[in-house]
Every structure is written in structure tokens, then in C-alpha cells.
Amino acid sequence: MGKLRSAAFIVTSGSVIFASHAVLSGNEKFYKHFIMPCFRLVDAETSHVLGVKAMSFGMVPLNNYIDPPSLTTTVWGKTFSNPIGTAAGFDKHAEAMVSLHNIGFSFVEVGSVTPLPQDGNSKPRVFRLTEDDAVINRYGFNSVGHTVVAERMKNYRAKPGKQNIVGINLGKNKTSDSAIQDYVLGVERLGDLADYLVVNVSSPNTPGLRDLQGKEKLQELIVNVLKARDSLPRKPPVLIKIAPDLTSKDKHDIADVILDPKSRIDGLIVSNTTITRPSHLKSTLKNEAGGLSGKPVRELSTDAIREMYKLTDGKLPIIGVGGVSSGRDAYDKIKAGASLVQLYTAMAFLGPPLITTIKKELEKILREDGFNNVSEAVGLDHR
Ligand SMILES: Cc1cc2nc3c(=O)[nH]c(=O)nc-3n(C[C@H](O)[C@H](O)[C@H](O)COP(=O)(O)O)c2cc1C
């Protein structure tokens, strides 16, 4: 019995040592086949909250990968050590910026943040469509509000050492009387703390929000947001985040507005989640209400990037997002016209080691295609 116990102890300790090593070293297979399935033992929202909490305490795998010069790129006068960032929605409340940078993202988009704290929709409100590599969410802007995020961002900015790039994504309160006022407040309160600001008019879970993408409303909104931005000392770039479900006319209208000198913004994020449900979805959860993200939105979003790049003559930097889970997916978005790329859903399935894998793959593809730098491939589909 004693021998058995010792053997069990040795085996268990061995496994723990192996596991700890694999976790710490960011072993990709170990994350894919062991760590991430453990997270899936709990519901999608709990595992998200646990993941962000772990990151807020700095619990992330070691990452020794040094971004190669071919991935370094400059957008809005800011140098990004690689073009891959965390999409909005993962770090809604500005808790995990340091860890997200440590696992290899060159930039993090905090939010969406609403002026006042609000709970969002009732639970359950996030669903994993595992068979489809997808998620449906109807969070409805659960947010700690401007004041808390501003405080966290101030603490983050006050930390000594290298400041990484953090954008802030702005939303509106569900019961607010004025969407414009909510976004303007976001600019005033958070603008000086952000490397860029995003006006999110494309989340499908706040009634009426996506109507702000219509021509007149969008122009009025942008004019007011830019006025507020221009009165800030640091004047961060302002981006608009759009849906993948827009008609061709919607996209033409948006291009007209954002190229108009009165309402000329600094960039676009393409795209948010889709309210469509492609016929090939297999999961029984496919008819849950909300925005669909991950693999099924990949081509929709890449096509929208290609169209918006064309309509804007490549004059406005685009952040491409939707279904990216490999270096090839990131490259496709870059060729369609994205200067930078973001992801969320694939990381929820594959864990932090995915970021290094994507960067390695992208570096290899660029080399094979004869590019010295990722910026040379931006908009390649249009040449
Ligand atoms: C659970 C969840 C929450 C999200 N919350 C936000 C949000 O608050 N604001 C926003 O602009 N986008 C939000 N998004 C959309 C993502 O930023 C991204 O545009 C979309 O998921 C497509 O990228 P992906 O396929 O890599 O996830 C959310 C996505 C998910 C999956």
C-alpha cells in the first residue's frame, strides 16, 4: 500500500510538474486539449470571467517569442510591434491589459464601456457553438461604466515602464435618451487615456444601436464626437466599428460620410458580430438570439473589409476582425485591406498560445510571398 501511495504520489507530482511546465511554457497542444476543455466545463460566461480574472492576476503562460521586424507596423503614427490585437468584448472592464500584452497582442481594445454602470441582459447570454468554432453572445453592454474604467486606465498609465497600446471602445446605456451624448461623454472622460477611441454602432444587442450606421444619424454622431475629440489635449484617433451585415447602399453611405471633411474619421473596425445564421451551422444553439462570432463570420467580415477599403480608396486604416484563428486568416484580412487585425472567439477556444502561433504563421507567409514588412501586403487584393 505504501509503495502504491508513493508511486501514485510520484505519478501525480510528475503530472503536476508536467502540467505546470506545459501551462507556463504556453504549450499550444496542452492548452488546446487540456486547459481550454477544462474552461469549457463551466458555462461560457463563467469561463470568460475566470479567464479575465486569472489574467488580471498576471496568470498567463510565459511567452518568449520576440516579434520580428517584418511584423512591426506604424498606424496613426503609433508603432505596433505586430499587427494582432485583442478585439473588444474580451477585456470589457480594463482588467487584463498587461497580461494580454504579455501573451503577445500588440494592442488591446478595452470595452465596450457605457457612461453609467449597467448589468446588460439576463443570463444565460453567451453560448459556445463548439461544432462551428463560434460563439453567440447577447451581453447587451454589461459595463462597469466610465468612472471605473477611467480609474483603471489612469492606474495603468501611471505604471512605470513601457506603455502598450490600448484603445477604448465606447457604447451607450440602454435607457439613455441621447446616444450622441453618451458617445461624447465617452470621448470627454476616456479620450485622454486612450491610444484610439472606437464608436461602436454595430453591436446587435442594444435596441436601435445599429440604426446609428444610417447616413444622417452617423454624420451627426461623428460631427459631435470629433468636436469633443478636437477639444482634448491628446486628440486620439477616432474609429467607427461597423457590422458585417450592411447592405451595399449602407456601405456606400458610410464611405461618403467618413470621407466627408466635416465627418472624416481616422479609421474603421470591420466587423462586429453578425445577426445572420449561415445555413451550414451545426450546433443546436444556433438559433439563440444575439451576435454570432468566430469562424462563420470570417468571410463576411473579410468581404466587408475588401469593400470598405475599395470604397474609401485605402485612405483610412482598417482594423480587420472576425473569425481569425490562423496566420492565413490574418493575412487574408490584410490583403483585403486591413492594416491591423483583431480576434476574440478563436482565443476563447484555443487559449493564449494561439497568438504566437498566428504571428509565426504570418511571418512565414510574408517571407514566402516576398514581403519584408506586413505593411507592404495591406490591400494586396486591390492591386
Ligand atoms: C462574448 C463577446 C462579447 C463581445 N463584446 C463586444 C463589445 O462589447 N463591443 C464590441 O465592439 N464588440 C464586441 N464583441 C465583438 C468582437 O469584438 C468582434 O468584433 C467579433 O467577435 C468578431 O471577432 P471574432 O470572430 O474574432 O470573435 C464581442 C464578441 C464576443 C464573442
Q: Is 193:169 a contact under the CB 8 Å cutoff?
A: no
Which residue's C-alpha comes closest to atom 6 of ligand 1?
89
Do 226 and 132 sit in the same domain of this protein? yes
Whether ligand 1 lies within 6 angstroms of the CB of 114 is answered as no
Do 4 and 137 sit in the same domain of this protein? no
CATH classification at residue 278:
3.20.20.70
Task: Tell me how many domains the chain contains.
Answer: 2
Percent of the chain exceeding pLDDT 90 equals 75
203 classed as catalytic? yes
Do 358 and 339 sit in the same domain of this protein? yes
Q: Is 337:303 a contact under the CB 8 Å cutoff?
A: no
**Where in the sequence is the domain holding 12, given as residue range(s)?**
1-39
Grid cell of 3 as nine digits: 509503495
Do 12 and 50 sit in the same domain of this protein? no
Do 10 and 89 sit in the same domain of this protein? no
pLDDT reported for residue 27: 67
Atom number in ligand 1 closest to CA 200: 11
Do 20 and 167 sit in the same domain of this protein? no
Distance from C-alpha of 206 to C-alpha of 375, rounded to nearest angstrom = 35
Do 173 and 27 sit in the same domain of this protein? no
Whether ligand 1 lies within 6 angstroms of the CB of 80 is answered as no
Do 25 and 159 sit in the same domain of this protein? no
pLDDT in tens, 337-361: 999 999 999 999 988 999 999 999 9
Do 70 and 25 sit in the same domain of this protein? no
> Edge-to-edge strand order for the sheet containing 134-137?
126-129, 134-137, 291-294
pLDDT reported for residue 59: 83
Q: Give the pLDDT band of residue 26 (cuts 50, 70, 90).
A: low
* Gap from CA of 2 to ligand 1 centroid (Å): 53
Atom number in ligand 1 closest to CA 109: 17
Mean pLDDT of 320-347: 98
With 60 as the cut, is the pLDDT of residue 12 above it? no
Mean pLDDT of 313-342: 98
pLDDT in tens, 225-243: 999 999 999 999 999 999 9
Which residue's C-alpha comes closest to atom 24 of ligand 1?
322
Do 9 and 64 sit in the same domain of this protein? no
